[in-house]
């Protein structure tokens, strides 16, 4: 298909580009091994400092609560949403009104993160001053994170269901499975890869996000990205920040590779293929 000369040229361009993609990340790791003050060479000094920093662990705990709390909720809401829109699409309104669900679902995806974050900031501000509920903090961050994850989970589940044989549902009906039974025994197992994929996507989105977190956070809800951002703004990049960044980069890369090989192994074993989660 592609002539040999062009293939060589493509390789010659692409391998350096791959290297370039990882150069900044590698540099963070390199600087994290900076020696302790007044010493030469490389050391794990920054990691030692990090291990004794209580603020970092508090931020890590909050980040994990935020990621898992929002991903679990959005997986539940998004799975139901994707399922309902696919299974009962005939019951949807006709005409212009039929587009309302997809309009609602695509808004969080299209909306720039900054507008998203500031909208939430103002909304929570108003709600808090009017009712005393929803003061800025981890709770408002979780709500915002759920909001941007739900559409992705719904679309993943929808895509999986839309690719199914519609007669499966009829078959379940013929076997006297009612709605709830067929949901638990037919839909959930069949859609399970998409649900897991959606959940992991939700966690990835939550860990990746800074802008929306930044505008919905309160004084007592500093998560890891906010911790790093304000540390850089205050006193620039330090070896400790690099050590923290290295660990965050490393764990994401490790998780992604493990997930990749697990799904590939499953596919090879002839099980259901999960829907693509590249975004």
Partner 1 sequence: MSAGVKTEVEIEAGRQRLRLWVTSGPGLVWIMIFLLIPSAVLLGIAFFSSNDYGSPVLPLSVQSFQQVAGYSLLGWDPGNIIIFLRSLKQAGIATLVSAALSYPLVFFILSRPESVRPLLLLFIVLPSWTNQVVRTYAWMELLGPNAPVSWVAHLLHAVPPDLGLAPGSFAVTTGLAYNYLPYMIVPLYASAEKLDWTLVEAGRDLYASGARLFWHTVFPQTLPGLLSGVIFVAIPAFGDYVVPQLLGGDKALMIGSQIANQFTETPDWPYGAALTIIMLVFTGMGLVGFRILTRKLGGAEEATI
Answer yes or no whether residue 168 interacts with partner 1 by CB under 8 A: no
> Could you tell me which of 189, 207, 191 has the C-alpha nearest to residue 255?
207
- What is d(CA 186, CA 180) in angstroms, rounded to the nearest whole number? 10
Tell me which of 49, 123, 135, 192 binds partner 1, using CB under 8 A: 123
Answer yes or no whether residue 97 interacts with partner 1 by CB under 8 A: no
Contact set for partner 1, span 236-255 (CB under 8 A):
237, 241-242, 245, 248-249, 252-253
CA dihedral sign of residues 231, 236, 238, 241: positive
- What is d(CA 230, CA 237) in angstroms, rounded to the nearest whole number? 10
Cβ closest to partner 1, residue 11 vs residue 39: 11
Tell me which of 141, 194, 195, 224 binds partner 1, using CB under 8 A: 224
Cβ closest to partner 1, residue 45 vs residue 182: 182
Contact set for partner 1, span 36-75 (CB under 8 A):
none
Work out the angle between the directed axes of helices 138-162 and 54-87 (0-180°, nearest 10).
40
Tell me which of 71, 121, 217, 222 binds partner 1, using CB under 8 A: 121
Task: Decide: 109 and 204 in contact? Cβ < 8 Å.
Answer: no
Q: How far is the CB of 37 from partner 1 (least distance, A)?
A: 17
Contact set for partner 1, span 177-216 (CB under 8 A):
179, 204, 207-211, 215
Task: Decide: 26 and 250 in contact? Cβ < 8 Å.
Answer: no
Answer yes or no whether residue 260 interacts with partner 1 by CB under 8 A: yes
Task: Decide: 247 and 60 in contact? Cβ < 8 Å.
Answer: no
Task: Decide: 205 and 148 in contact? Cβ < 8 Å.
Answer: yes
Part in contact with partner 1 (CB under 8 A); list of ranges 35-43, 46-54, 107-115, 167-175: 107-115
């Amino acid at each position: 298909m592609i002539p040999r000369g062009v293939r060589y040229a493509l390789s010659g361009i692409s391998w350096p580009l791959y290297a370039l993609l990882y150069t900044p990340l590698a540099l963070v790791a390199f600087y994290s091994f900076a020696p302790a003050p007044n010493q030469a060479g490389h050391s794990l000094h920054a990691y030692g400092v990090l291990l004794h920093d209580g603020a970092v662990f508090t931020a890590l705990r909050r980040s994990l609560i935020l990621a898992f709390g929002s991903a679990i909720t959005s997986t539940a809401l998004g799975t139901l949403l994707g399922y309902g829109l696919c299974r009962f699409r005939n019951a949807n309104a006709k005409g212009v009104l039929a587009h309302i669900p997809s309009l609602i679902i695509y808004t969080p995806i299209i909306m720039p993160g900054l507008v998203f974050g500031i909208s939430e900031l103002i909304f929570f501000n108003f709600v808090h001053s009017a009712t005393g509920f929803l003061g800025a903090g981890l709770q408002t961050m979780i709500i915002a994170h759920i909001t941007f994850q739900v559409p992705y989970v719904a679309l993943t589940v929808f895509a999986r269901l839309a690719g199914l044989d519609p007669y499966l549902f009829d078959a379940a009906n013929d076997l006297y499975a009612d709605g709830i039974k067929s949901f638990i025994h037919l839909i959930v197992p069949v859609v399970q890869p998409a649900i897991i994929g959606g959940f992991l996507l939700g966690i990835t989105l939550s860990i990746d996000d800074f802008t929306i977190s930044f505008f919905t956070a309160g004084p007592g809800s500093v998560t890891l990205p906010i911790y790093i951002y304000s540390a850089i703004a205050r006193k620039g990049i330090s070896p400790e920040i690099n050590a923290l960044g290295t660990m965050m980069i490393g764990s994401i890369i490790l998780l992604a590779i493990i997930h990749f090989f697990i799904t590939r192994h499953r596919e090879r074993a002839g099980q259901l293929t999960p829907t693509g989660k590249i975004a």
